[in-house]
Amino acid sequence: MGYRVYRDGELLSTELIEGTIFIDSQPPPGQRIYYVTAVYQLLVESEPASVSIHVISIPPMEYPYYESFDHAIFPPYGWSIYDADGDGRNWMRFVQDPHEGVASAGSASMSGNNQPVLTDNWLITPRFFMPSNVIMLRYFVAAHHEVSFAEHYSVLVSTTTPQIDQFTDVLFSETLATNEWQERCLHLDKYVGQQIILAFRHHDSSEQYALKIDSFYLGTIHNDKDIGIESNRTELLSNYPNPFNPETTISFTVAVESMLRIDIYNIRGQKIRTLANKVFEAGNHSVFWNGTDDIGRDVSSGIYFCQMKTERYTATMRMVLLK
């Protein structure tokens, strides 16, 4: 019927656990004994299977903090990984073509069989306390394959625990458009005075190849260029979430002040909504679509295309509305 999990003789969940994964998000430090029992009809409970685990307490990391993923041990000290899709593939030390040094952190999206699944792998940082002068995260990201490079990932924040359902703030999300290493710089000033945990979630990617993260840096801003995601070109980045129901946010960058138009088309090529048609200044921007057409009617589930156009740039990406 299910399972029960105990820590030092204490039942950790009053409800039967139906799956085979249980996360104890805040175990007290020290030597702990965990054991699992199976529960059958009439609440007959099996003999326990036990394991002894030494739980350590990791203090918030000091600044500036830098991680190159070059050390042979992965994940690095204080970091954790989680295979949320349960396919047996997770973040790993990736030695092919790092940004610098000898390795990066990589997550595969290629299943290697005839039953592709949507990747959902989490790379979770240690806990950080955010003093007033630490307001920037900088990292480099790349897809590994020169052709199959449409890897999708998000950077998320938890102010409580590293359990994945506690990551409620999405700092940034994008679908990569190249396999070249790209620098990203993100604001963290809204978390001043708080303890935070960051997560790189590789998700909604299937049958590409691998996503890579390298040269993770958390520290102070050195100049005005460091503020926000550095934008030296006009580019349609991504929408998040995707698939969505019925709301999604479309992100893009503008290299120089430009007249810009963003339209939504259905799978038959018919324009159903204009989201933007105005001048945007240089920088990072986003627009919101709530799944309606130009006269406010809800559109049906299906595949839609977002097209962004300026005088010298045109790009289109696919989005999926699931109701």
Residue 291 belongs to domain with CATH number = 2.60.40.4070
CATH number where 208 lies: 2.60.120.200
Position 266 in a domain: yes
> Could you tell me if 178 and 102 lie in one domain?
yes
> Could you tell me if 100 and 20 lie in one domain?
no
The predicted model scores a pTM of 0.58
Segment 179-231, tens digit of pLDDT = 899 999 888 888 888 899 999 999 988 777 899 999 998 887 554 444 344 44
113 pLDDT higher than 60 = no
- Of 226, 251, 276, which one is at a domain's C-terminal end? 226
> Could you tell me if 49 and 78 lie in one domain?
no
Strands, sheet with 195-203, edge to edge from the N-terminal-most edge strand:
80-83, 120-129, 195-203, 152-158, 169-175
Q: Which domain holds residue 7?
A: 2-55
Strand partners, 139: 184
Tell me which residue of 180, 215, 189 sits closest to 102, measured CA to CA: 215
Position 60 in a domain: no
pLDDT band, very low/low/confident/very high, at 26 (cuts 50, 70, 90)? low
Exposure string of 166-193, with b = 16+ CB inside 10 Å and e = fewer, is ebeeebbbbbbbebebbebbbbbeebee
Confidence at residue 228, expressed as pLDDT on a 0 to 100 scale: 41
Position 195 in a domain: yes
Position 275 in a domain: yes
Beta pairing, strands 120-129 & 136-143: unpaired
Number of structural domains (the chain) is 3
Position 185 in a domain: yes
- Of 226, 261, 289, which one is at a domain's C-terminal end? 226
Position 261 in a domain: yes
Segment 264-281, tens digit of pLDDT = 999 888 899 999 999 998
Tokens of 254: 């503008």
